[in-house]
Amino acid sequence: MQLYIGNKNYSSWSMRSWVLLKQAQITFDEVMIRLDECTAASKFKIEVARHSPAGRVPVLVDEGWAVWDTLAIAEYLAEKFPERQLWPADRQARARARSVCAEMHAGFAALRNHLGMNIEASLPEVGQRILRENAQVKGDVDRLLQMWSELLAAHGGPMLFGRFSVADAFFAPVVKRFVTYAVPLPPVIAAYVDRVQALPAVVEWTTGALAENDFLDFEEPYRTRC
């Protein structure tokens, strides 16, 4: 089984599937394809197209069969490894977990566009300015805080649905965004952010991101190379 990913510092979509596999202790080989500006003729697009017609990462390849899109990968893994209990066991909780993952998957465009994942960076001033000036980003953050607070209260923590699930892997990149941009958090959410950051898979991903030392101008709207 191989998982094709982009740069760990920037590729939030890759992080979801990688963290899910690692935290669930599912064996796989990591194949990193360096991000570029993703034009039709770019090296990144050409390489990814060998494995997925969508031309995006992550791509999971199992026994020569490719699965792309983070939701599809999560469902594939949940079906292949039912003993890992990647979704909650309770039917209603499972439906709610799928709902919030789908909401993350399809929504929060303002957050994605203005608070891009950049694990190596520390941009508290940028975060303060954007939250002050951009009502849509503020709305996305408020929705996430509401969602996480309700789920933690309903399931008693330490993760969103009690134990680690697909949902926590899906929101791990948001956790890293909140840290990079020093988003103000109520204590219960700050504690959840700390617990996600302490997950072995997230620690390993973060360590890999910091080791890349690969500054990509097109992923850096708020900084320039020194």
- pLDDT tens digits, one per residue of 97-123: 999 999 999 999 999 999 999 999 999
DSSP states of 46-91 as a string?
A: HHHHTT-TT--S-EEEETTEEEESHHHHHHHHHHH-GGG--S-SSH
CA atoms within 13 A on the CB side of 5: 26
Please write the tens of the pLDDT for every residue from 122-147. Answer: 999 999 999 999 999 999 999 999 99
Q: Per-residue pLDDT for 60 more than 90?
A: yes
pLDDT reported for residue 40 = 72
**pLDDT of 41 above 90:** no
Q: Quick one: pLDDT band at residue 80, thresholds 50, 70, 90?
A: very high
Burial class of residue 65 (count of CB atoms within 10 Å of its CB; 0-12, 13-18, 19+):
exposed
What's the confidence (pLDDT) of residue 77?
A: 98
Domains of the chain: 2-84 (3.40.30.10), 91-208 (1.20.1050.10)
Give the pLDDT of residue 181: 98
The reported pLDDT for the residue numbered 103 is: 98
pLDDT at 226 over 70: no
pLDDT tens digits, one per residue of 209-222: 999 999 999 999 99
**Quick one: 151 exposed, middle or buried, by C-beta within 10 A (0-12, 13-18, 19+)?**
buried
Per-residue pLDDT at 208 exceeds 90: yes
Q: Phi, psi at residue 68, to the nearest 5°?
A: -120, 165
- 149 pLDDT more than 70: yes
pLDDT in tens, 158-179: 999 999 999 999 999 999 999 9
Dihedral angle over CA of 121, 125, 131, 132, nearest 10:
-170
pLDDT interval class at 39 (50, 70, 90):
confident
Q: Report phi then psi at 192, rounded to 5.
A: -65, -45
pLDDT above 90: percentage of residues in the chain:
94
- Please tell me the predicted confidence (pLDDT) of residue 225: 77
Residue 95 confidence (pLDDT) above 70: yes
User: Rounded mean pLDDT of the chain?
Assistant: 96
